[in-house]
Amino acid sequence: MEIIDFFVNLLSDPRTFIAGWIISLGPVWVYTPLFIIVFVETGLVFFPFLPGDSLLFAAGVFSADGGGLNVLATLAVFYVAAILGNTSNYWIARFFGSRIIDSGKVKSLTPERMAKLDSYFEKYGGITIIITRFMPFFRTFAPFIAGTGHMNFGKFTFFNVIGGVAWVTSFVLVGYFFGGIPFVQEHFETIVIGIVVVSAMPAFIGAAKAALSARKKKTQPVEPVEPTE
C-alpha cells in the first residue's frame, strides 16, 4: 500500500516531491530519481502507470530561474532516460516477450491482441512510436510491441529518438515558460491532473471504440447458410 500511495501522491503533486529531492539530494543528485522514474515508466512494461507527463512538466517549472534545476541538464537527463527506457523495453520484448505474454501477467497483452497488432505495426509502426510518447500507458507498451518482432532495431531507434526528444522538450519547456505564472502556481495540482487526463484521453477513446466495435460484432446476427443442392 505504501508504494501505491507514493505513486498516487507523486501523480497528483510532483512539485512537492521534486522540492524535497532538491533539498535532500542537492543540485546534482536530484536528477537521479527523475531519471529513474522516466526510465522505469518507459523501460519496464509492468509500470505503465508512472506519472511521466506531470513529472516532466513539474521539472520544467523547477528549471526556471531560481527553481533549483538547470533547464539544459533537465532536458538532457530526460532525453537519455526516455530513449534508453524505450530501448530497454524493446530488448526485453526481443528476449522475453513471448514468455511475458504467455505468462498472462500483463493482462492487456494477450496473444490474440498481439496478433492483431502485426499488420498495424507493419504499416504505421514508426509514427506509432512517436505518437504514443504523448499517451500514457501506450508509450510503455509501444516499444514492447515493436520489440516482439514488429520492427527492426535501426528503424525503431530512429523513431524512438524523435519521439523521446519531442515528448521531453514539449512538457519540460511548457513547464519552464508557463510554470511561473501566478494562476499556474495557485492551481498547480489541478493543472497537473488535467495534463494527465488530456494525455490519457486518446487511450480511453481508442479503448472505448475498440470495445464498442467488438460488441457490435458479437451482436450482429449470423446469416443462415443456404444448403447447396
**pLDDT tens digits, the chain, 229 residues: what are they?**
566 667 667 776 788 889 999 999 998 999 999 999 999 888 876 666 666 788 899 999 999 888 899 999 999 999 999 999 999 999 988 888 777 777 766 666 666 666 666 666 777 778 888 888 888 777 888 888 888 877 889 999 999 999 999 999 999 999 999 888 888 777 677 777 777 666 666 655 655 665 566 566 666 655 555 555 5
At residue 111, the pLDDT reads 66
At residue 105, the pLDDT reads 63
For residue 1, how many other CB atoms are within 10 A of its CB?
Answer: 5
Q: Quick one: residue 119, left, alpha or beta (phi over 0 = left, psi -120 to 50 = alpha)?
A: alpha
Domain range annotation of the chain:
2-219
Answer yes or no: are the C-beta atoms of 54 and 100 closer than 8 Å.
Answer: no
At residue 216, the pLDDT reads 66
At residue 198, the pLDDT reads 65
At residue 40, the pLDDT reads 87
For residue 187, how many other CB atoms are within 10 A of its CB?
Answer: 13
Q: Indicate the length of the chain as a whole number.
A: 229
The burial of 224, by beta-carbon neighbours within 10 Å (0-12 exposed, 13-18 middle, 19 or more buried), is given as exposed
DSSP-derived secondary structure letter, 134: G
186: cell is: 495557485
